[in-house]
Structure 1
Amino acid sequence: MGYKVAIVGATGNVGREMLNILEELEFPVDEMHAVASRKSRGVEVAWGDRTIKCQDIEAFDFSKVDIVLMSAGGDVSRQWSEKIGKAGPIVIDNSSAFRKDPDVPLIVPEVNPDAIKDARKKNIVANPNCSTAQLVVALKPLHDAAKITRAVVSTYQSVSGAGKEGMDELWNQTKAIYGLGDATPKLFPKQIAFNVIPMIGSFRDDGYTDEEAKMWDETHKILDPDIRLTVTCVRVPVFVGHSEAVTLEFDRPISPDEARAILRDAPGVMVIDKQEHDGYITPVDASGEHAVYVSRIRKDHTVENGLSLWVVSDNLRKGAALNAVQIAQLLDETGTIKPSSGYRSITV
């Protein structure tokens, strides 16, 4: 006895990862539906050892499914998520459309699972920004042990955060530069191959970008509104995997050894931290993995009660698809949803 599941945006990077992770985690699925825009109708995507054809979102009957994993962008979510929720299923939305809505829980299961109690208010649960997800997984156990008062974060975000088009642009520019071809930017504001771009999203009046604002807004909603947080988001020529340089200030002294011990016991975290040439994690190491990796934990001598650390995760997994599936697991485990064909409980 399992769930009837629909994935909206099944042809995209995250949609395909959702299909993979549902199978990897053995989430109980009785029926799987791939849904996309009309132009993708009939496109085949892999589901387990078979393929399924995408159905047109305009014609799909959402009342016949239990869970909808939404990964088609903010505009599609704003148009469809509330309609779908009113039809009965719970929508787990990967866009920014509902993250600030007070009636929509914003959840990272390792951090704020109790927020699932609000899932039925609109039948929508929001997935955070990919960079926020890995950040709060690393911060939560430290914050529980010694309250974080301030955080300074610089992100190094892979091009897959901009979708398949972002990955294509890095690949095509790299080939063009080696072949003396045309490397003119099309998606990104500047050349991304062999370069870094110190802005993601759109500029706000205060000089920050909306990507940076997402991180502090979401961290405040998920973890603690009293943490003072400043962020600089940077796009780097990496295909998959986001990295973050994080400096924290606490309300009491906390040593690097204590922080390592705390993080080693934390759910969803792997500590790889040795003062050796390979004693830390890079995006290549994290690609395809579920964990949030923490390395280079060290004292920040410039402030009182300060620590610096390096946080890396696969943004298509923990930053998006994995977190969405973990929310589905949480909905099932707490009995918030029950499959229309019966009830089966699984363990997160």
Structure 2
Amino acid sequence: MGYRVVVAGATGNVGREMLNILAERQFPVDEIAALASRKSLGTEVSFGDKTIKTKDLDTFDFTGWDIALFAVGSGPTKEYAPKAAKAGCVVIDNSSLYRYDPDIPLIVPEVNPEAVMGYAKKNIIANPNCSTAQMVVALKPLHDRAKIKRVVVSTYQSVSGAGKDGMDELWDQTKAVYNPTDDKPAKKFTKQIAFNVIPHIDVFMEDGQTKEEWKMVVETKKIIDPSIKVTATCVRVPVFVGHSEAVNVEFEEFLDEDEAREILREAPGCMVIDKRENGGYVTPIECVGDFATFISRIRQDSTIDNGLNMWIVSDNLRKGAALNAVQIAELLGNRVLKKG
């Protein structure tokens, strides 16, 4: 006996990945519904070897459905997620809407699986920000060993984090570079993204940090430990898929780089590729389509007593969004619903 599963936002990048990953991981699905806005009604999407047509999110009845994976943004989520939850369907939401609600668990299954039991307060579980998700997968096993005091992270985030419009803008501007008569001004981003980097993701806040940077701070504290200090600089780069992060970690205790490497090799969700030679590290293009969070360039930071540096890369459409949501559904099924 399996589950009746809903994917809301099934025509978007993340929604399509959710359907792909549910099929790839053979999640026990008895029935699946793909929902979209009215303008996309009837669009065909793939689920394994099946093709299904989208239904209207606005009129869909969630009664009798077990799990709903939401990838529709904060606006529609605010309207439809409570309806689904009230109907008895557990919502796993990919937007930022519920991440900071103390009554809603924010979960990365490799890091804080025990938090899933908190779903019952509102029948909703939040998926973290894409840049946070991959970072905490690498940080948690090291924190368990030596306790993290402070994290300094600089991100190199792909345009797919901004959705299809972001990917289209990079593609169009790249072509326009080679065709001077074809001007493609910035629309989705604040400046040209082709052959450029932009140190600005989401809106600016009063203290000078961007909302994306603030998310990494607050979410890391909620998922791992509120005592960890985090400072972030988030940068959009001309890469289609795959987020990268340069992370500096200060621990309370000394942690040797060799021990850290071994800890991460054994940690769930982590894949260490760390050879000190040409190409002995992972780049974004190599992580696309993979489930793992890749960790390279692990080395001691000689400027502080207990510091390490590392390079973290992951497919943001997968671990940063769709994969994490499906893993939460698996966790929910194994620990709570127990149908599959």
Q: TM-score, normalised by structure 1?
A: 0.96
8 A contact 2:35–2:55 mirrored in 1: yes
Structure 2 residues not aligned, in runs of 5+: none
After TM superposition, the structure 1 stretch with the greater mean CA deviation from structure 2, 189-198 or 62-71, is 62-71
1:337 aligns to what?
Answer: 337
Q: Distance in 2 between matches of 1:220 and 1:151?
A: 11
CA distance in 1, matches of 2:224, 2:109: 12
SS at match of 1:63: coil
Correspondence 1:104-253 to 2 at 5 A: 104-180=104-180, 181-253=182-254
Q: What is the deviation of 1:84?
A: 1.1
Q: Distance in 1 between matches of 2:50 and 2:293?
A: 31
CA distance in 2, matches of 1:23, 1:57: 22
Residue 2 of structure 1 deviates from its aligned partner by 0.9
Q: CA RMSD in A?
A: 0.7
Name the residue aligned to 1:26. Answer: 26
Q: Which residue of 1 aligns with 2:294?
A: 293
Whole-angstrom distance in 1 between the partners of 2:337 and 2:126: 16
SS of match in other structure, 1:319:
helix
Partner of 2:314: 313
- One-letter amino acid of the structure 2 residue matched with residue 203 of structure 1: F
Letter in 1 for 2:54: C
Paired AA for residue 274 in structure 2 = D
Distance 2:88 2:3 in 1: 13
**Which letter maps to 1:304?**
D
Deviation at 1:168, TM superposition (A): 0.5
Output one character per residue of 1:226-281: Cα deviation in whole Å (capped at 9) or x when no partner. 01110000000000000000001011111110100110010000000010111000
- Which position in structure 2 is the counterpart of 1:37? 37
TM-aligned CA deviation for residue 64 of structure 1: 2.8
Distance 1:49 1:268 in 2: 27
Q: 1:196 is matched by which residue type in structure 2?
A: V
- SS, match of residue 326 in structure 2: helix
The alignment partner of 1:120 has SS state of helix
Q: Distance in 2 between matches of 1:51 and 1:261?
A: 43
Alignment pair present for 1:276 and 2:277 = yes
Distance 1:214 1:35 in 2: 28
CA contact (8 A) 2:24 2:48 kept: no
Question: What secondary structure does 1:267 align onto?
Answer: coil
Partners of 2:253 and 2:103 lie apart in 1 by 34
Q: How far apart, in 1, do the equivalents of 2:319 and 2:75 lie?
A: 23
Output the amino acid matched with 1:300.
D
Q: Percent identity?
A: 64
Partner amino acid, structure 1, of 2:45: V
- Partner Cα distance (1:238, 1:50) in 2: 31
